[in-house]
Amino acid sequence: MKLGFLGPEGTFSEQAAITYCAEAELVPIASIEEVADAVESGEIDEGIVPIENSLFGSIIPVLDFLIKAEKSRIKFELAIPVEQCLISEPDMDLKKITRIYSHPQALGQCRAYLANNFPGVDLVASLSTAGSVADMLLSEEPAAAIAPYRAAEIHHATVVERGVEDGNSNFTRFAVLGHSDHTPTGHDKTSLAFWFSSDAPGTLYQALGLFSNRGINLSKIESRPTGESLGTYVFLADISGHRNDDAVSAALSDLVEITSKLKILGSYPQMPDMRSTPTD
């Protein structure tokens, strides 16, 4: 199986890919969007993408891709603990640093640390955390990077400080994308997106009540612009249960009747509760 991940080697996405299926042929890909596109086109069999971080929230490009994707579905989820490190060239004088590279998500996870320790320093987006170390080493200005410990080892750089993320319980949830979702396991989650043709009081309340009335837990809900016009949104929700479960199937059938469009993003095994402190 060809399993795509956000490369290069040394990213948290690679760690998640190995955790999910170490026997797969791992294919590093330059950006999250390109991983998703490779799944959709069939270039790879499955792709693993970050979908949510406990400190920084949802990974918006992945949500927007799932809304528009025609073939791709979520078939599995897993979470890994995330420890961000401040990395520099050997013997770098930190007071001279004028630029810090990292993926935007990592910069967001370390916002308070960076503001307190490097005020006024330019924060530069890289395609990946591991790639930010390479960017730092090529920088013409004194620079550092925010990246995993392994990325420093790969590039023979120096780990100045470990655990620089803003919080001691930093996890990233990853979604495995494929052309089908998972068969029922008895402990599942279903992700869905739905639209309303018009905005009216109580519309969303009515929709969510379809799950509450059947004892179906709603674990997450958020909205994204449809891109069609200002002020129009698509709602994304995670619910407990598989789409083929009797109660979930009945609720989804009723939801079709009150929405203009309903899309099942996938049913898949629900991962254990990750509300604990990550360890090395």
Of the residues 129, 172, 190, 259, which is catalytic? 172
pLDDT value at position 280?
39
pLDDT along the chain (280 residues), means of 10: 92 93 95 94 96 89 92 96 94 94 93 96 94 95 95 94 89 95 96 90 92 95 86 93 97 95 96 54
The CATH superfamily assigned to 188-268 is ACT domain (3.30.70.260)
What's the per-residue H, E or C state across the chain? CEEEEECCCCCHHHHHHHHHCCCCEEEEECCHHHHHHHHHHCCCCEEEEEEEECCCEECHHHHHHHHHCCCCEEEEEEEEECCCEEEECCCCCHHHCCEEEECHHHHHHCHHHHHHHCCCCEEEECCCHHHHHHHHHHCCCCEEEEECHHHHHHHCCEEEEECCCCCCCCEEEEEEEECCCCCCCCCEEEEEEEECCCCCCCHHHHHHHHHHCCCCCEEEEEEEECCCCCCCEEEEEEEECCCCCHHHHHHHHHHHHHCCEEEEEEEEECCCCCCCCCCC
The Cα 239–Cα 241 span in angstroms is 6
Decide if 2-81+170-178 and 85-162 have a common fold: yes
Domain boundaries, the chain: 2-81+170-178, 85-162, 188-268
pLDDT value at position 273?
66
Active site residue 98: no
The Cα 141–Cα 17 span in angstroms is 34
pLDDT value at position 170?
86
Beta strands at 99-102 and 122-125: parallel, antiparallel or unpaired? parallel
pLDDT value at position 278?
42
The Cα 99–Cα 183 span in angstroms is 47
Number of neighbouring beta carbons within 10 Å of residue 104: 15
Model pTM score: 0.83
Active site residue 65: no
Tell me if 199 sits within 8 A of 260, measured CB to CB. Answer: no
pLDDT value at position 231?
77
Tokens describing residue 176: 């495995």
In CATH, 2-81+170-178 is 3.40.190.10: yes
Of the residues 174, 194, 196, 211, which is catalytic? 174
The Cα 99–Cα 92 span in angstroms is 13
According to CATH, what is the number of the domain 85-162? Answer: 3.40.190.10
pLDDT digits (tens, 9 = 90+) for 131-171: 999 999 999 999 999 999 999 999 999 999 999 999 878 89
